[in-house]
């Protein structure tokens, strides 16, 4: 009898603990930083980190581009324009269609749709006058665990011209998180880290070799911990069998890459549907290489993959493949 009592009590405790772990991992919200709207624009002047609140970026500190005079924010064209009808091939990606574009004196964005390996791929070609326009935001403007909102909600709240889902930092307990020049998590994770510097350059770093403080001193404006790196030094850095993150097959994907100084591409692919199969990491890397990307990094994918341009969801986000619905995520990368 005593044995049965012990077994029952232990089983109940085990079940209760398991339920707690599930809730703790997926449901229970914890806020570690209430206000994440501040930005450390000191990195644009090679200054030491300044965590003082600075909600506004009144005058962009232009780093590399010369054409800084114009500041008008005019939407040049919003109507869909058919550009070409060629389908992408293995080596050179050619856009099926230019969906939309935006341009002002500091920001230029062109959205194009490609068909690549039976997959719809949406590419935002972004040219900036300063990396200061490449920003990030957290759901509910709070840093923490299980704090979520859809990409489009966060885009709207931050007046984003273009937004994609970020690295979903909150699902991990480690991995550098530097956003808008401020360090939120300094615990190194297992994954490579993508650093975007104040001068607009991108670099993939090993978090075991450098601390977050050193990164900010070097002028890191944004750092993401998801990965893997897709392209380094102009070459694909993942192999066909090297599927990091346990996602071994075709799926919706989100990635960011750099072509030239302050010239970026944000890439989101649909997947898990008959219309769009999805890409493996290797296929995604090959596609981005064909765009001329020199450094590219994989962000959170699957049902999280979403691209929003001027308030409209451009792709078809889906978790199950049966219905199109945005999944709530922890953070976004946006232009604005």
Q: Which residues bind another protein (CB under 8 A)?
A: 3, 6-7, 10-11, 14, 17-18, 21-22, 24-26, 168, 171-174, 245-251, 272, 300, 302, 321
Q: Which is nearer to another protein, 136 or 250 (CB)?
A: 250
- Per the rule left: phi > 0, alpha: psi between -120 and 50, beta: everything else, 173 is alpha
Q: Which is nearer to another protein, 70 or 249 (CB)?
A: 249
Torsion of CA 189, 194, 199, 200, to 10 degrees: -150
Residue 78: count other Cβ atoms within 10 Å of its Cβ: 13
Output the smallest distance, CB 249 to another protein, in A: 4
- The set of residues, in sequence order, having a beta carbon less than 8 Å from that of 65 and lying 6+ positions away, is 128, 129, 130, 261, 262
**Phi/psi at 313 (5° precision):** -75, 120
Q: Which is nearer to another protein, 189 or 257 (CB)?
A: 189
Output the smallest distance, CB 31 to another protein, in A: 18
Output the smallest distance, CB 301 to another protein, in A: 9
Residue 165: count other Cβ atoms within 10 Å of its Cβ: 29
Output the smallest distance, CB 25 to another protein, in A: 5
Q: Which is nearer to another protein, 25 or 68 (CB)?
A: 25
Output the smallest distance, CB 132 to another protein, in A: 30
Q: Which is nearer to another protein, 42 or 166 (CB)?
A: 166
Q: What is the DSSP letter of 294?
A: S
Output the smallest distance, CB 323 to another protein, in A: 14
Output the smallest distance, CB 213 to another protein, in A: 24
Could you check whether the bond before residue 309 is cis, i.e. omega within 30 degrees of 0? Answer: no
Q: Which is nearer to another protein, 74 or 320 (CB)?
A: 320
Q: Which is nearer to another protein, 7 or 51 (CB)?
A: 7
Q: Which is nearer to another protein, 55 or 208 (CB)?
A: 208
DSSP 39-80: --GGGGGTPPP--S------S----S-S--S-------B-S-
Output the smallest distance, CB 37 to another protein, in A: 26
Cα separation, 51 vs 20, in Å, equals 35
Could you check whether the bond before residue 228 is cis, i.e. omega within 30 degrees of 0? Answer: yes
Contact 109, 335 (CB under 8 A): yes
- The set of residues, in sequence order, having a beta carbon less than 8 Å from that of 39 and lying 6+ positions away, is 54, 55, 57, 135, 180, 181, 182
């Amino acid at each position: 009898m005593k044995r049965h009592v012990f077994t029952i009590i232990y089983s109940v405790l085990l079940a209760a603990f398991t339920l707690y772990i599930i809730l703790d991992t997926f449901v229970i919200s914890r806020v570690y930083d209430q206000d994440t709207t501040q930005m450390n624009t000191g990195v644009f002047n090679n200054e030491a980190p300044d965590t003082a609140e600075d909600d506004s970026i009144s005058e962009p500190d232009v780093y590399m581009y010369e054409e800084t005079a114009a500041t008008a924010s005019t939407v040049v064209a919003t109507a869909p324009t058919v550009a070409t009808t060629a389908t992408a091939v293995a080596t050179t990606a050619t856009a099926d269609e230019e969906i939309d574009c935006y341009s002002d004196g500091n920001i230029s964005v062109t959205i194009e749709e490609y068909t690549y390996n039976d997959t719809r791929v949406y590419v935002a070609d972004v040219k900036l006058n300063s990396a200061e326009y490449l920003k990030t935001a957290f759901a509910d403007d709070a840093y923490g665990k299980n704090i979520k909102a859809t990409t489009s909600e966060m885009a709207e709240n931050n007046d984003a011209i273009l937004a994609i889902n970020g690295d979903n930092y909150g699902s991990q307990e480690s991995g550098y998180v530097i956003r808008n020049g401020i360090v939120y998590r300094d615990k190194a994770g297992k994954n490579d880290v993508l650093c975007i510097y104040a001068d607009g350059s991108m670099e993939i770093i090993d978090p075991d070799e450098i601390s977050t403080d050193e990164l900010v001193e070097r002028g890191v404006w944004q750092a993401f911990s998801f990965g893997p790196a897709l392209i380094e030094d102009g070459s694909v850095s993942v192999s066909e069998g090297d599927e990091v993150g346990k996602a071994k097959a075709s799926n919706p994907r989100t990635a960011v890459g750099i072509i030239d100084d302050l010239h970026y591409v944000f890439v989101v692919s649909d997947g898990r549907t008959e219309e769009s199969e999805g890409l493996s990491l290797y296929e995604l890397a090959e596609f981005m290489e064909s765009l001329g990307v020199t450094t590219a990094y994989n962000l959170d994918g699957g049902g999280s993959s979403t691209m929003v341009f001027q308030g409209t969801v451009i792709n078809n986000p889906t978790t199950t493949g049966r219905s199109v619905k945005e999944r709530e995520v922890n953070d976004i990368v946006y232009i604005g």
